[in-house]
Structure 1
Amino acid sequence: MGTTNPEEQDLRTTRPLLKTKAILRSKIHSTISKKARAENLETMTSGTRYWTSNREGQVQLRMGKNPLENEPPVTVPDLIMSAATKYSHYLAIGSKYKKSWQVLTYIEYYEACRRAAKAFLKVGLERFHGVGIMGINSSEWVIASIGAIMAGGISVGILSSNSPKACQVIAETSEMDIFVVDNDRQLQKVNQIQGYLKHLKAIIQYREDIQEVQPNLYSGFLMELLREVQPTTFCGIPWVWDHMLDSLKTKHLDSTAFRRRIDRWAMRMGLSTNKRRMMGEIHQPLCFGLAKRLTFEPARKFLGLNHCEQFLNVGMGLPTSTLDFFLSMNIPIMEVYGLPECTGVHTVSNLQAYRIRSCGKELPKTHTKVEKENQNGVGNLCLWGRHIFMGYLRDKQNTENKVDTHGWLHTNDLGFLDFDKFLYIMGKAKDLITLSSGEKVNPYPIEERVRTRIPIVHYAMLVGQDFPYLCALLTLKCQINPETGETRGNLTSEAVACCRKLRSQSTWLSDVLYDRDPIVTQFINQGIEDVNSEAPTVGAKIIKWVILDNDFSVDGGELGPMSKMNRSAVVKIYQEEIQKLYENPTS
């Protein structure tokens, strides 16, 4: 059993999960309280046997129709021990702190987790009580999480960006005995609330104060680190891919005219070849090898990905223009779909099963269905499998709303499956905009078209709930500080290059705000008109738009830690700008 908080900072931020992680305990500790037994009996007799909100509860395993597919349950400690036995001296995990590497073999990894478990028990961890872990990605984070489970506790992952109040709610819900933090900034949050935490027994800080590291920043000088590591699989969130794209385009613009012609030729061949490969064509043009040597391999080496065989994107889906650019560089980015409630991953693409904009196909022994489809086949996604969580800790009502009596997880995401069972995500049901006319509009496909038709736009968010028409909040592509993750005021190389093609001299966001650059304003107007020409109804057209004075970011509160747009937060932050869009009604 373990708990974590979801990716987006909404109400679920303070709702810990009882997760299976494809692993379920075959037996529950014999000392189950009378209350727990009564709650579990109620769950079993009511027919909802696939979930429980009780930390000591039992759940029915999800079994398939084919007996050969039904594996016996196994615990997390058993998995770790099995890996340590089978791959004892192989490298298991590594992370870099400052200039030194911490690497562990599988047997060392197991022993580190075991020592952490003993340490947690020593300072007073009780069975089924929480161990909160708050910090950036590191070996210590994972070791603490597994150690908590091995000690009989519940691993509670907490976002580094969470407020002290959110941390307090999570700690109280999980009856947290121990807080594990990575630096003084997180420690201060715990210090503010520890007086309210009756179960808290110990606070463990595993790293010294790191002033330059900011919350939610997974790595500081990313490409230098990649060049050193030479990964074979790389998983990035959208802003990381945006940073890489801008770096490549900057390098391209700084090269000679002859070099740029070669790269453009190679990229045209790369895009067409890879799109044909998606449809099953395996033969490459005779000149593909030359393009690989001249352009593709140098680009991968520049990014530190020259040994990489698999490229993954998690979080918000990338725009088609970004996917096409990397595909033209022979870097096919595979989209992943999943939720914390399904252990993070449900579908994934691979080189043998890949489509642009698709999240791939479901994992083995899992199932996907689409309910309440509209005329385009888009409906509510439901997931089934042994990877589905057990329930929200001490939250029976929301658990019951999330998992039905047959064990299906209702994601509240909209999507569809194509003929070949590739999954496409089309937004969230809760994000549908209802106009004053009663018409419901899905903003996701419209926003995607805006980002594709207007390449200087980074984020587009439609508003219009209970209003007569749609408006768009636009942000332009601005450079990112690689040390802090904060956005800067200067436009990216891609955006500047686009402006130059338009014969605009704008290089800063301030150059185009408030219609200061009529060329850019007209370009955006034309792009919006093009998007509107594809609108299925009048209500789905964008009537007004505004460029915001800052790009969306995690630190600004507009994005979650996986770069997913936090729409409710955006509406609150830019309430004044939205109000102005509707002050003078259009005819």
Structure 2
Amino acid sequence: MDPTAGSCYWTTERDGEVKLRLGKNSENEPPITVPDLIMSAATKYSHYLAIGSKYKKSWQLLTYIEYYEACRRAAKAFLKVGLERFHGVGIMGFNSTEWVIANIGAIMAGGISVGILCSNSPKACQVIAEASEMDIFVWKGFLDLADDISDEKLDQVIDSQKPNQCCALVYNQGTSEIPKAMMLSHDNITWTTAAAVQSLGFKCPPNGQEVLVSYLPLCFAGAQILDVWVAISVAGTVYFPSPEAGKWNGPPRAPGTGFLTEMLREVQPTTFCGIPHISQPPCFGLAKKLTFDPARKFLGLNHCQQFLNLGLGLPRATVEFFLSLDIPIFELYGLSECSGLHALSSHQAFRLLSSHTKVEKENQEDIGNLCMWGRHIFMGYLNDKESTEEKVDSQGWLHTNNLGFLDMDKFLYVMGNSNDMITLSSGEVINPNPIEERVKTRIPIVRYVMVVGQDAPYLCALLTLKCQINPETGEARSALTSEVVACCRKLRSQSTWLTDVLDNRDPLVTEFISQGIQDVNAEAPSEGTKIIKWVILDNDFSVGGGELGPMSKLNRTIVAKIYQEDIQKFYESSSS
């Protein structure tokens, strides 16, 4: 079989085949399928512990050979109930043993795995189900159906699969947009996995066994690559939270709070992957009083050797805090369209091996549109030729819509997304991301900032103060965090609630924020990039409120709709 048989680097057909981006280098990984990957692990590491889920305070554990056999049983059950080739299997649920077995079983059976976010609206779920042509939703108790399907029939289906065919759909879920289906091939998953293992230097038996905790939503490509596929590739052990912990409706919770800390302390992970939200919680106030080993033990990370941040970049203050605890955090950058990973920072590398980055349409500061090339680039958008042609050019380069630059050593700096850019009425185009980061650095009591000003004469800012989080719902409370209260006391302010500072009720806090904005403006490269007006909002942003996506990314469109009146007030005097 020639894995490069596809005539084009992209396709929009679920049963299409793409041309693989195979280079001339000898270190190229040979193309394999997902079933090949897990069968290899089950063969080499059959008796090593693979996965564990906690039910009613006791662990249910599977070795790699048991894991593999459970996936085969799931595949047989899918075939029994009529799963057609290249049709979808919808998996909607919190991270669990059942989730990953359904995921792999669907692929083994020749179907397409489709992870669905639990917090999706009914409309979004309907769009995903119809576009994916789902034959099956999982699950409960259907594994017994596997008994009617022979091993030979399943093996025929597995043997018919090719590395350059689609095996998974990933959706841009949790946004205000209509979900768009991104097709990932077997090779997208297996190559990205191999590249991540090499680039990040994971251990593999007999030299040690990686231990991971899976809590970030597996319907996102980056989380799935690390928690499922990398774990299988290096024969690591993955632990899942109990079903009770899965009832949490907010963003993933931070070490030091609730079920996650309990799991970390119990299973002692060797690699921990988080997102910006969980790296900046109020609970680190206690950790700050500790040093090195005591702090790591308090957070349940005393055996952890790799700390990874997936998603948006971390503020410098957060990075420096963790470094003070002898915890260096390595950043990972990627999109669903590149299988979740592209650039990284680690002791071994700063990008996935054999992948490439270029910058197009650079401005005077050498900042331009980022483009990627490699075997991790997705197949295309399902049934959407127009969007696919806009995203992937004839040479196979993925145009990300992200802005950034490469320094002299080819390190990548991501500055934001072109869709975030603000054009003032003067015609000046401004990137709000660095301005927002400066505000959070200068005014540490601020948790979220959104700069506005599209088609307006000047910039303004919506600010939220750091409020306590309800551990049961994930919603922000009106009580200020201990960090903010401590700052207020230094200012000789007695404020403890958000309502104490709204509408300029606390002149000391108002003056503190005003001074911080002035400091930010002093660093502005032009008059147009200065913040002229600002307001403290009456609620902190949250996933449940819609202001944040599932991975805590700011939903600018939704925030603009929710706080439309506040934004209009900024410009009422200037328009009259």
Q: Report what 1:112 is aligned to.
A: 70
Q: By how many angstroms is 1:210 displaced? A: 5.7
Do 1:25 and 1:74's aligned partners in 2 also have CA atoms closer than 8 Å? Answer: no
Q: Report what 2:120 is aligned to.
A: 162
Counterpart of 1:166, as a letter, is A
Counterpart of 1:423, as a letter, is L
Q: Report what 2:302 is aligned to.
A: 306
Q: Report what 1:11 is aligned to.
A: none
What CA deviation, in whole Å up to 9, does each residue of 1:507-546 have, x standing for no partner? 2211111111111110100010111111111111100001
For residues 212 and 369 of structure 1, the distance between their equivalents in structure 2, rounded to whole angstroms, comes to 40
Match of 1:83 among 30, 41, 44: 41
Match of 2:548 among 552, 559, 580: 559
Q: Does 1:324 find its partner at 2:335?
A: no
C-alpha spacing 1:223/1:389, structure 2 compared with 1 (3 Å): same
For residues 245 and 296 of structure 2, the distance between their equivalents in structure 1, rounded to whole angstroms, comes to 32
Do 1:436 and 1:468's aligned partners in 2 also have CA atoms closer than 8 Å? Answer: yes
Counterpart of 2:548, as a letter, is L
Q: Does 1:241 find its partner at 2:279?
A: yes
Q: By how many angstroms is 1:352 displaced? A: 5.3
Do 1:136 and 1:216's aligned partners in 2 also have CA atoms closer than 8 Å? Answer: no
**Identity between Structure 1 and Structure 2 (%):** 73
List runs of 5+ in structure 2 lacking aligned partners: 141-240
SS at match of 1:221: helix
Do 1:25 and 1:73's aligned partners in 2 also have CA atoms closer than 8 Å? Answer: no
For residues 100 and 563 of structure 1, the distance between their equivalents in structure 2, rounded to whole angstroms, comes to 31
Q: Does 1:135 find its partner at 2:124?
A: no
What CA deviation, in whole Å up to 9, does each residue of 1:131-182 have, x standing for no partner? 1111222222111111111110111111111111111111111111112269
Do 2:3 and 2:20's aligned partners in 1 also have CA atoms closer than 8 Å? Answer: no
Q: Report what 1:204 is aligned to.
A: none
C-alpha spacing 1:238/1:71, structure 2 compared with 1 (3 Å): closer
Do 2:371 and 2:398's aligned partners in 1 also have CA atoms closer than 8 Å? Answer: yes
Q: Does 1:516 find its partner at 2:505?
A: yes
For residues 373 and 348 of structure 2, the distance between their equivalents in structure 1, rounded to whole angstroms, comes to 24
For residues 218 and 119 of structure 1, the distance between their equivalents in structure 2, rounded to whole angstroms, comes to 32
Q: Does 1:490 find its partner at 2:486?
A: no
What CA deviation, in whole Å up to 9, does each residue of 1:318-375 have, x standing for no partner? 222111111112111211101111111111222456xxxxxxx211111111111122
Counterpart of 1:124, as a letter, is G
Counterpart of 1:213, as a letter, is K
Match of 2:368 among 354, 375, 379: 379
Q: Report what 1:408 is aligned to.
A: 397
What CA deviation, in whole Å up to 9, does each residue of 1:281-326 have, x standing for no partner? xxxxxxxxxxxxxx21000001011001111111222222111111
Q: Report what 2:17 is aligned to.
A: 58
For residues 572 and 423 of structure 2, the distance between their equivalents in structure 1, rounded to whole angstroms, comes to 19
Q: Report what 1:397 is aligned to.
A: 386
For residues 411 and 136 of structure 2, the distance between their equivalents in structure 1, rounded to whole angstroms, comes to 43
Do 1:135 and 1:181's aligned partners in 2 also have CA atoms closer than 8 Å? Answer: no
Do 1:479 and 1:489's aligned partners in 2 also have CA atoms closer than 8 Å? Answer: yes
Q: Report what 1:432 is aligned to.
A: 421
For residues 524-539 of structure 1, what are the structure 2 equivalents within 5 Å?
524-539=513-528
Q: By how many angstroms is 1:503 displaced? A: 1.7
Q: Does 1:337 find its partner at 2:346?
A: no
For residues 103 and 208 of structure 1, the distance between their equivalents in structure 2, rounded to whole angstroms, comes to 13
What CA deviation, in whole Å up to 9, does each residue of 1:109-133 have, x standing for no partner? 1111111111111122111110111
Q: Does 1:297 find its partner at 2:293?
A: yes
For residues 102 and 423 of structure 1, the distance between their equivalents in structure 2, rounded to whole angstroms, comes to 42
SS at match of 1:584: helix
Do 1:136 and 1:217's aligned partners in 2 also have CA atoms closer than 8 Å? Answer: no
TM-score normalized with structure 2 length: 0.78
SS at match of 2:572: coil
Do 2:38 and 2:68's aligned partners in 1 also have CA atoms closer than 8 Å? Answer: yes
Match of 2:104 among 133, 146, 149: 146
Q: Does 1:575 find its partner at 2:533?
A: no
For residues 35 and 59 of structure 2, the distance between their equivalents in structure 1, rounded to whole angstroms, comes to 26
Q: Does 1:315 find its partner at 2:315?
A: no
Match of 2:263 among 225, 234, 246: 225
For residues 111 and 549 of structure 2, the distance between their equivalents in structure 1, rounded to whole angstroms, comes to 27
Counterpart of 2:275, as a letter, is I
For residues 364 and 212 of structure 1, the distance between their equivalents in structure 2, rounded to whole angstroms, comes to 35
Q: Report what 2:451 is aligned to.
A: 462
C-alpha spacing 1:419/1:212, structure 2 compared with 1 (3 Å): closer
Answer with 145-154 or 97-106: which moved more.
Answer: 97-106
Q: Report what 1:213 is aligned to.
A: 247
Q: By how many angstroms is 1:458 displaced? A: 0.5
What CA deviation, in whole Å up to 9, does each residue of 1:396-439 have, x standing for no partner? 11111111111111111111222222222111001100011111
User: C-alpha root-mean-square deviation of aligned residues, in Å?
Assistant: 2.4
For residues 134 and 212 of structure 1, the distance between their equivalents in structure 2, rounded to whole angstroms, comes to 12
For residues 330 and 497 of structure 1, the distance between their equivalents in structure 2, rounded to whole angstroms, comes to 25
What CA deviation, in whole Å up to 9, does each residue of 1:11-53 have, x standing for no partner? xxxxxxxxxxxxx99499xxxxxxxxxxx8xxx4xxxx10000
For residues 431 and 70 of structure 2, the distance between their equivalents in structure 1, rounded to whole angstroms, comes to 48
Answer with 470-479 or 504-513: which moved more.
Answer: 504-513
SS at match of 2:552: coil
Do 2:9 and 2:394's aligned partners in 1 also have CA atoms closer than 8 Å? Answer: yes
C-alpha spacing 1:97/1:216, structure 2 compared with 1 (3 Å): farther
For residues 456 and 464 of structure 1, the distance between their equivalents in structure 2, rounded to whole angstroms, comes to 23
Do 2:467 and 2:540's aligned partners in 1 also have CA atoms closer than 8 Å? Answer: yes
Answer with 415-424 or 164-173: which moved more.
Answer: 415-424
Counterpart of 2:261, as a letter, is M
Q: By how many angstroms is 1:55 displaced? A: 1.1
For residues 116 and 164 of structure 1, the distance between their equivalents in structure 2, rounded to whole angstroms, comes to 27
Q: Does 1:368 find its partner at 2:357?
A: yes
SS at match of 2:37: helix
SS at match of 1:370: strand
Do 1:362 and 1:368's aligned partners in 2 also have CA atoms closer than 8 Å? Answer: no
Match of 2:134 among 176, 201, 211: 176
Q: By how many angstroms is 1:242 displaced? A: 2.0
Q: Does 1:476 find its partner at 2:465?
A: yes
Q: Report what 1:94 is aligned to.
A: 52
For residues 554 and 542 of structure 1, the distance between their equivalents in structure 2, rounded to whole angstroms, comes to 26
Counterpart of 1:247, as a letter, is C
For residues 370 and 454 of structure 1, the distance between their equivalents in structure 2, rounded to whole angstroms, comes to 33
Aligned length: 473
C-alpha spacing 1:515/1:181, structure 2 compared with 1 (3 Å): farther
For residues 96 and 451 of structure 1, the distance between their equivalents in structure 2, rounded to whole angstroms, comes to 38
For residues 421 and 246 of structure 2, the distance between their equivalents in structure 1, rounded to whole angstroms, comes to 40
